[in-house]
Amino acid sequence: MPPVTTEIPNVALRALIERSDYVAAQEWLEERPVWEVADSLDRMDGVDAGIAFRLLAGDRALDVFEELDAATQEAVLDVMRGNEFRDFVDALDPDDRARMVGELPATVAQRVLAGLSPEERAMTATLLGYPEESAGRYMTPEVVRLKRTMTVGEALAHVRLFGPDADTIYTLPVVDKQRHLVGLVDLGELVLANPDSPVTDLIVTEPPRVHATEPAEVAARLMADSNLVDLPVVDAADRLVGLLTFDDADEVIEEADSEDAAHQGGSSPWSGHYMAVSVLHMARARVIWLVLLLAVSLLTVTVGYHFEEALEKVAALAIFIPLLIGTGGKVGTQASSACVRALAIGEVRPSDAVKVLWREARTGLLLGAGLGLLAIGAGIIFADASVAIVVGISLLIICLLGALVGGLSPLAAKKLGIDPALVSAPVVTTIVDVLGLIIYFLVASLVLGL
Amino acid sequence: MPPVTTEIPNVALRALIERSDYVAAQEWLEERPVWEVADSLDRMDGVDAGIAFRLLAGDRALDVFEELDAATQEAVLDVMRGNEFRDFVDALDPDDRARMVGELPATVAQRVLAGLSPEERAMTATLLGYPEESAGRYMTPEVVRLKRTMTVGEALAHVRLFGPDADTIYTLPVVDKQRHLVGLVDLGELVLANPDSPVTDLIVTEPPRVHATEPAEVAARLMADSNLVDLPVVDAADRLVGLLTFDDADEVIEEADSEDAAHQGGSSPWSGHYMAVSVLHMARARVIWLVLLLAVSLLTVTVGYHFEEALEKVAALAIFIPLLIGTGGKVGTQASSACVRALAIGEVRPSDAVKVLWREARTGLLLGAGLGLLAIGAGIIFADASVAIVVGISLLIICLLGALVGGLSPLAAKKLGIDPALVSAPVVTTIVDVLGLIIYFLVASLVLGL
């Protein structure tokens, strides 16, 4: 036993919890031997024991949990399932709350979640350390686990025994004694196999898996790519916590794609059915981006204001503004939407930035050259040759620029940890509007000597 | 026997096929009794028998098939699987080809498809009457069918016997003697049920299903909504042809969403990985829309040209053009992308048009009122009060218009049978650019008396 035990007496933990000194309590819990922590918890009751337990980190929490009296184990699980503890944690200041919502080890998490309805599960997920939109929030903990030592017949008997309580039995995870994920057995293959052969013959080892705190969208896309009906969800120590089923994954993908679509349309995502949300709610989801972009658009006004003299001298310049910046915005939108989608489905990674820029630059130049020629024709018809040349050169540069802005922005967003889908057509066109206008007036000043 | 038999002698069918008179051959096949048609087919061989068989329609094809000698049945199936018949059909003129690619009855289609690789299956799908991108092209015909009269134990034995040849056994369709789809049994429930109980206890009757010629995307969305692992695919007479599995459905949805994303970005979809397709290919996918929209954008030039005098008198008007039409385009893009997504996931139907317009009109007015006030401020700073009023009023109207154009266009596209996703940000902004410019100049003319 380390000498510290004599410095802080045994009763201290309860006292520390009671006076809400969670920093000291966490220190105490880290320093004391497991049996002493368990013993202290056994003497506490209700929410206090729950709090103390939640202050323990990862593997240590598991060690302590296993050392607890059966009654205290139940009490701690009950506390974490209950409203009282939830209300208590909600009321904490953020620092203390963060101390108390570290990820629980799989064994305990699963026992907390077992028997809860999906709604209760969602509410409890925060307390287990699973962030919003994480795989842990969508998974089902009620699965049938197999052991490596079983025969096919034993495994089937095991499935018949525990299957009725499980949410899915299509996929049967195989775990070792410490609950580490060993592999997966497919129910179909189990049914078709010889009952006497060992289950190890059927195990798919090293299956794809996600960590419970990872985003559910990542998990769902991984599932779609790996053609699994159910994807194993593990804790930080690779212990099985549950399975993400294909129907939950479908839901996650539909939500994610709807969110991306809203972002790509230049509005915040709204919650709910298009026909059901209120007009005010819809306007609120849209107005933020509009005001933000209007502020940026004011730069076009200042650019125009700066070149007002040039516009007074050659009024014909004004009539090509919508065509030029509009086309630039379109080239930019094509590039950005292609990159956003490629990022979403994993075809492009932020490290590909240089290659993407090089691709988009060449595409932009190709498009700009073709459209520039068409624009020169229009310039000759509606103005004169000199304006036509200004319009043609400007369009070439604006297309190149649009493609570069469109290609680079989603990658930059991703690198900055922002959702690339936020790089929408409205965002790209606004940037290209401002830059395009500057280019147009600069080219005009140079060519026409204004 | 009808009197026509004496008019057209028995050998006629072969003669008609040999001189490629498919219209007459089809007439002959429709008029003759089943046994006579079967008899004629038995006497023909190779591709000719295949052609004659493919000229038969729906249920009649099934009746004739069942009447054929076993050897002729095999010959006909072989012909439809082979390259020779495919080449022959490809070379036909469209009218004759259409005569020969009507949907095959489920029983025959399944026997043609069984044992083919996915690639061969895809190539043969046309010959079975399944259009491009239809559910019939993605389904697997290799499934295990149960009978209503089985016990759970018998059903499991049946699964063990036929399962190894099936692509999926998660879902076990139950069919009657004519192969009509009666319902579905889930493998999990079959495993957990008492072996002596009748399988009827487990059948989910009237399950969701799709017709083999329906678009695969419709099928995949239906699956996601109905939480089925496998969706039954039936022929015109509701007979089971196969199952669409969840992994094929995932693939279909990812393809469809990528296509929608490309369209929404204002380009044609391209086939292949973003990083792998050539720059030229990418430019080609984008240039069509750009040129199309550039042509429409030329209207902005003509509008500007028409109001050039006004621009000469009040040069300050020009500097607000990008802000006004840009904002209108954004409001339109928000509305259109919301409606496109709502249509894609089935939240909105074309019949909701009036409600959608009413929602978008109110949203647009709300947004226009707010943004209009901000624009008036900008107008006062960069020009004068009268221009500011022009800008404010114009923006209000342009926002209303943007929301209406954005909301209505996807619905109109859907009603016209065009993919609503084609109503992209670039399309909406181009329309709003032109209309917005007209509104701006009209308001300016009225308010400033130009």
Rounded Cα distance, B192 and A162, in Å = 9
Q: pLDDT value at position B127?
A: 65
CB A192 within 8 A of CB A153: no
Give the alpha-carbon dihedral of B405, B282, B274, A392, to 10 degrees: -70
CA quadruple A103, A108, A112, A117: dihedral positive or negative? positive
The DSSP output letter for B183 is E
Alpha helices in B101-170 (DSSP H): 106-113, 118-125, 135-138, 152-162
Residue B23 structure tokens: 């219209």
Q: Is B262 on the interface with A (CB under 8 A)?
A: yes
Residue type, B370: G
Count interface pairs A-B at CB distance under 8 A. Answer: 337
Tokens of B213: 């010629």
CB of B329 less than 8 A from some CB of A:
yes
Q: Is some CB atom of chain B closer than 8 A to the CB atom of A237?
A: no
A337 interface with B at CB cutoff 8 Å? yes
Q: Count other Cβ atoms within 10 Å, centred on residue B120.
A: 13
Binding-face residues of B in 381-410 toward A, CB within 8 A = 382
Report pLDDT digits (tens) over A266-309. 888 877 788 888 888 888 889 988 898 888 888 988 888 888 88
Q: What percent of chain A has pLDDT over 70?
A: 96
Q: Of A192, A293, A424, which is closest to B163 when you measure between CB atoms?
A: A192
Per-residue pLDDT of chain B (450 residues; tens, 9 = 90+): 444 444 444 557 888 888 888 888 888 888 888 888 888 888 887 778 888 888 887 778 888 888 888 888 888 888 887 777 777 777 777 777 777 767 778 778 877 777 777 777 766 776 677 888 889 888 888 899 999 999 999 999 999 999 998 889 999 999 999 889 999 999 999 999 999 999 999 999 999 999 998 999 999 989 888 889 999 999 888 999 999 999 889 888 888 888 888 888 888 887 778 888 888 888 888 998 889 888 888 888 888 888 888 888 888 888 899 999 999 999 999 999 899 988 888 888 888 999 999 999 999 999 999 999 999 998 999 888 999 999 999 999 999 999 999 999 999 999 998 888 888 888 899 999 999 999 999 999 999 887
Rounded to the nearest angstrom, the minimum Cα separation between A39 and chain B is 43
A152-264 carries CATH number 3.40.50.300: no
Q: What is the DSSP letter of A200?
A: G
pLDDT of A315: 82
Residue B229: its chain A contacts at CB < 8 A?
Answer: 170, 229, 246
Q: What's the gap in Å between the CA of A138 and the closest CA on chain B?
A: 15
Q: Please, which residues 71-130 of chain A have a Cβ atom closer than 8 Å to chain B? A: none
Confirm or reject contact between A321 and chain B (CB < 8 A). yes
pTM of the model as a whole: 0.74
- Residues from chain B contacting residue A347 (CB–CB below 8 Å): 273-275
CA dihedral A314, A317, A319, A320 (to 10 degrees): 170
> Which residues of chain A are under the pLDDT cut of 50?
1-9
CATH class of A4-102: mainly alpha
What count of other Cβ atoms lies within 10 Å of the Cβ of residue A268? 15
Please tell me the class of the B279-448 domain: mainly alpha
Smallest CA–CA separation between B365 and chain A, in Å?
10
pLDDT at B1: 43
Residues B331/B337/B339/B342 CA torsion (nearest 10 deg): -140
CA B345-B350-B355 angle, to 5 degrees, is 100
Q: How far is B137 from chain A (nearest CA, A)?
A: 19
Q: What is the pLDDT of residue B2?
A: 47
Pairing of strands A181-186, A171-175: antiparallel
Selected residue of A327, A363, A384, A391 to mutate for chain B interface (largest B Cβ count, 10 A): A363
Domains of chain B, by residue range, sit at 4-102, 152-264, 279-448
- A362 touches B: beta carbon within 8 Å: yes
User: Which 3 state secondary structure label does DSSP give B204?
Assistant: strand
User: Cβ of A323 and B382 within 8 Å?
Assistant: no
Tell me which H or E stretch contains A173: strand A171-175
Helix-helix angle B216-226:A246-264, to 10 degrees: 120
Q: Is B301 on the interface with A (CB under 8 A)?
A: yes
C-alpha to C-alpha distance for A353 and A351, rounded to whole angstroms: 5
Write the residue in B163, B286, B345 that is nearest to A258 by C-beta: B345
Give the closest of A363, A424, A437 to B283, CB-based: A363
Answer whether B29 touches A (CB < 8 Å): no
| Nearest chain A CA: its distance from B404 CA (Å) | 14
Residues contacting residue A333 through CB under 8 Å, at least 6 positions apart? A406, A425, A428, A429, B265, B266, B424, B425, B426
Instruction: Tell me how close the Cα of A192 comes to any Cα of chain B, in angstroms.
Output: 5
What is the number of residues in chain B? 450
> Does B426 sit within 8 Å of A425, measured CB to CB?
yes
Say yes or no: B433 contacts chain A, CB-CB below 8 A. Answer: yes
